[in-house]
Amino acid sequence: MDVEAALEKFHSMKLAEIIPPTTMMPIVTADSDLLSVLKVLRARHHVWVVKDRESMELVGVIRYLDVIDILLPPESHRFKLGMTSKSLKSLLGGAAKAEDVADRHPLTIEEDATVLDALNKMRRYKAQVLAVVEGEKLVGEVSLRILIDEFLRLLRVGGAQWRE
């Protein structure tokens, strides 16, 4: 299999075939305290927030860079007109649970979408990770790292060689 054939096969793969199990994903429930969230974010670039483990209904995402807003005092976010929504995401501004600081509009993609669909969405929104959903339910995630790993696996399995 040459690289072109491997890419063609890769692009047509369904996300359901390559997403890791949710047990391998960084997930907290909406009522998780922020210290638990920070502990996850020490080792991960994001954490998914779900309503509860039974429904797995996606509430939002907290990204590594969001930690800055969590740790800053509320007055660091003020504009002349008063408080901003970011000031409410500060520990000192009253944020206590994961749902208080989560971005409520995470980028999602359906599990029957293809790798090509995911790559196009990532490029369009300059995102490195997408929540894979079935309706409102979080069923997985797809990241650039996962896509790179899968492409390299395909090349090894197919014996493809890079040509200069």
- Rounded Cα–Cα distance for residues 26 and 44 (Å): 7
Strands, E assignment, 41-128: 46-50, 58-63, 108-110
What are the 10-residue block averages of pLDDT along the chain, 164 residues in total? 86 96 97 96 97 98 93 71 60 89 97 98 97 98 96 78 48
**Domain 3-158 bears CATH identifier 3.40.640.10:** no
Q: What is the reported pLDDT for 89?
A: 80
The model's pLDDT over 107-144, given as tens digits with 9 standing for 90+, comes to: 999 999 999 999 999 999 999 999 999 999 999 999 99
Q: What is the reported pLDDT for 160?
A: 54
Fill in the DSSP letter of residue 30.
T
Q: What is the reported pLDDT for 120?
A: 98
Where in the chain are the domains?
3-158
Q: What is the reported pLDDT for 164?
A: 41
